[in-house]
Structure 1
Amino acid sequence: MIDLKRRIEAFVKLGKFMGEFCEYSNKTAHDGYPNKPWFHKLEQKVRLAGQSNGWFTEENVLFALKSWSKLLTEDRLLHWLSAYNLEKSKKKNVALITAGNIPLVGFHDFLAVLLTGNSVQVKLSSNDKILLPFLAEYLREMEPTLKNTIRFTEKKLDAFDAIIATGSDNTARYFEYYFAQKPNLIRKNRNSVAVLTGNESPEQLKALGEDIFRYYGLGCRSVSKIFVPMDYDFDVFFTAIYSYKDIINHQKYANNYDYNKAVYLMSEFKILDNGFLMLKEDESYASPIASLFYERYASLKDIIVKLEQDKHKIQCVVSHGNIKNEVPFGKTQTPSLTDYADGVDTVDFLLKT
């Protein structure tokens, strides 16, 4: 059995390092930290990640690092793992194929594999290939016994006992075929939604803007659609999210806004537009960048039934006192350790494999 205590301590050190780096980067503290050489290295990696992927702005990378720093505490890690019998874990070599839509999107899988006593072999998306290898380097420095348990590869995956792969619906079909002979956890496209009643406060709607605009709407936990009453007043919604207007100054976002607006107009679709976000009435869940789908409902009961029927398409639901297992406004992008992607318990999968 692995020395779980030592692995947890390594991740706790990593969490502290990420939190202090965010303070350092935000110029709230510059002196007194022993990790300054590592800070400078991570600064370079953050810059390089942004150059490699234009969606990975410094603000969003720091947000991801800060979010993880809050989760990587001894109390939270121990509480998370206390729900499982780690004694029955059999050491495996687990392969990860990660997505690249938001910074460090594969970190939870990486964490779960290592804290269940396994080795990890990672095939990174070309869109997010900078940050995780650096954090792994820091981990190995903090805990040398991890040196032979973490491997990154750009080649064909080999000699693995189980695999966790994340991709689009199309790539998932390929994964399911190609890895059919191995224990596998295959993730597909998911989107998040919000259910509004018209009684939300301006503060709640402003917080919803965080769920919509963080990571430019590219995450599976990004709200891409809202359900609204028949007589919903969209002026109230637009007023509440106006503080996010500067998002249009990001070139890639602006390009998508212009392109999608042209498509909508040429197709003569009716849209609502405030200059940085377009609303389109649509039954689909996955809205293009810089747009948000909406669907009207006659009763909340109808929406509850619809969401249950479509639960395989939905990552999380934002609402206030209306939906089972709802997420509060403004909290979709800060999941807890038990908020598993696609609702599948990764630790349970690893222990039973």
Structure 2
Amino acid sequence: MTIDKRISAFNQLAQLFKYITNKTEPELDELKIKFKNLDEEIGYALSDAEAYNNWFTRENVFFALNNWAEALSTSNLTEWVKDYPTVTTPKNVGIIMAGNLPLVGFHDLLSVVISGHNALIKTSSKDDKLMSFLIRFLHTIDEEFKTIIQTVERLEGFDAVIATGSNNTARYFEQYFSKVPNIIRKNRTSVAVLNGSETIEDFKALGNDVFRYFGLGCRNITKIYFKSEDQIPTFFENVLEWGDVVINHPKYANNYDYNRAIYLLGKDEFLDNNFVLLKKDANLHSPIAVVNYEIYDDLEAVKSFLSDNEEQIQCVVGHDMKDNPNYVEFGKTQTPTLTDYADNIDTLQFLAEL
């Protein structure tokens, strides 16, 4: 399959995503001809996704689909791949996917297929329904994808592996897949460094960075460095719009109640606005419904700490952090582009060198 056909297929997938989210209705007749009972299949995929993983609310699924619809334009895909060599001998690349966010493993699938290799996919049980639906759609666009993209129960016959998991599972992955080229991803998180010049719009955008997907992703901010304690009320005030979204979700509410009770019993200091806890803590990672924070005096010391712990960090937000390689603007952590690679490993370069 030529690169132009691959790009065209993923652009058709973008049209499907736009149709699902009702933003537009592009080429509706063509989509329905290619995929029989399209509307029914969409309904089943969305309802099953949330039933099997209650974190996958319709709003968050649509947010993910809209972001991918924007990314998968013909111009974006063409620009993305233009500097990488054409693969002449396709390899079988195993992909072990995470399932914490809707379609979180899709970038790896896209990278493998667009580069000219074959994908052997082990989906996460937490994100199997959406992923299986879009794979069936690609199979319908072109039957050759049935050879290029295969979902498997057990990885066998692979030439390389891309695996995502926790720090614990990563150790097993590194040992098990040590004999083939691999990318092994571990836990990461994101931080914000505030300097006091932030606008109300910055704080509102920061709310999206913290609360989108209930804080479950590596691009969610779980640690905030405040220049002054005076900024904390401003933060609380400008994230209030997220209150109904998160606290009315049973699993989030359970985590909020649990962590609050633990901190009360342990007599830990924390601040509370009735749907998120701010806890003074040096750790970069925080539990669901909790954001760790520190008050800093020395910006250079913060920068040095973030540099020393770069392997734990995916995104860094803040007006003074533009020199950080992981810098992202306020409100943009949850809208990565095609070149925003997980763990900052260029997946296309890795695949080109197989």
* Both structures adopt the same fold (TM-score exceeding 0.5): yes
Distance 2:26 2:135 in 1: 25
- Give the CA deviation at 1:19: 0.9
Aligned equivalent of 1:7: 6
Q: Is the 8 A contact 1:193 1:226 kept in 2?
A: yes
What TM-score does the superposition give when structure 1 sets the normalisation length? 0.95
1:229 to 227, 230, 236: 227
- Give the CA deviation at 1:182: 1.0
The residue type equivalent to 2:13 in the other structure is: L
Instruction: Spell out the pairing of 1:203-214 with structure 2 (5 A cutoff).
Output: 203-214=201-212
Q: Is the 8 A contact 1:6 1:143 kept in 2?
A: no
* Mapped pair 1:127 → 2:129: no
The residue type equivalent to 1:299 in the other structure is: D
Aligned equivalent of 2:182: 184
Q: Secondary structure at the match of 2:21?
A: helix
Aligned equivalent of 2:57: 57
- Any idea what the Cα deviations from partners look like across 1:207-246, whole Å, max 9, x if unmatched? 1000111000000001111111144431111111111110
Distance 1:124 1:107 in 2: 10
The residue type equivalent to 1:150 in the other structure is: I
Q: Secondary structure at the match of 1:308?
A: helix
Instruction: Spell out the pairing of 1:57-96 with structure 2 (5 A cutoff).
Output: 57-86=57-86, 88-96=87-95
Point out the more displaced range, 290-299 or 30-39. Answer: 30-39
Distance 2:25 2:193 in 1: 43
Question: In 2 relative to 1, CA 83–310 (structure 1 residues): closer, same or farther, beyond 3 Å?
Answer: same
Q: Is the 8 A contact 2:109 2:119 kept in 1?
A: yes
Aligned equivalent of 1:336: 337
Distance 2:316 2:194 in 1: 11
Structure 1 segments unaligned to the other structure (5+ residues) = none
Distance 1:29 1:15 in 2: 11
Aligned equivalent of 2:45: 45
The residue type equivalent to 1:334 in the other structure is: T
* Mapped pair 1:195 → 2:157: no
Question: In 2 relative to 1, CA 248–334 (structure 1 residues): closer, same or farther, beyond 3 Å?
Answer: same
What TM-score does the superposition give when structure 2 sets the normalisation length? 0.95
- Give the CA deviation at 1:89: 4.9
Point out the more displaced range, 254-263 or 37-46. Answer: 37-46
- Any idea what the Cα deviations from partners look like across 1:122-145, whole Å, max 9, x if unmatched? 111111111111101111111222
Point out the more displaced range, 229-238 or 9-18. Answer: 229-238
The residue type equivalent to 1:328 in the other structure is: E
The residue type equivalent to 1:117 in the other structure is: G
- Any idea what the Cα deviations from partners look like across 1:4-57, whole Å, max 9, x if unmatched? 11111100001111112101xxxx668983245323311211110100001011
Q: Is the 8 A contact 1:7 1:143 kept in 2?
A: no
Number of corresponding residues: 346
The residue type equivalent to 2:96 in the other structure is: I
Distance 1:15 1:258 in 2: 39
- Any idea what the Cα deviations from partners look like across 1:79-102, whole Å, max 9, x if unmatched? 01112122x553100000001100
The residue type equivalent to 2:350 in the other structure is: F
- Give the CA deviation at 1:300: 1.4
Aligned equivalent of 2:102: 103
Distance 1:32 1:78 in 2: 21
Aligned equivalent of 1:161: 159
The residue type equivalent to 2:231 in the other structure is: D
Aligned equivalent of 2:247: 248
Question: In 2 relative to 1, CA 170–319 (structure 1 residues): closer, same or farther, beyond 3 Å?
Answer: same
Q: Secondary structure at the match of 1:130?
A: helix
- Any idea what the Cα deviations from partners look like across 1:289-333, whole Å, max 9, x if unmatched? 111000221121111111111100000101124332421111100
Point out the more displaced range, 333-342 or 14-23. Answer: 14-23
Distance 1:98 1:104 in 2: 9
Aligned equivalent of 1:33: 28
* Mapped pair 1:143 → 2:138: no
- Give the CA deviation at 1:162: 0.3
Distance 1:193 1:66 in 2: 24
- Any idea what the Cα deviations from partners look like across 1:55-96, whole Å, max 9, x if unmatched? 01111111111110111110000001112122x553100000
For the aligned residues, what is the CA RMSD? Answer: 1.5
Distance 2:26 2:120 in 1: 37
The residue type equivalent to 1:278 in the other structure is: L
Distance 1:230 1:69 in 2: 39
Q: Is the 8 A contact 1:277 1:290 kept in 2?
A: yes
* Mapped pair 1:262 → 2:257: no
Distance 1:32 1:134 in 2: 19
Distance 1:259 1:200 in 2: 32
Q: Secondary structure at the match of 2:127?
A: coil
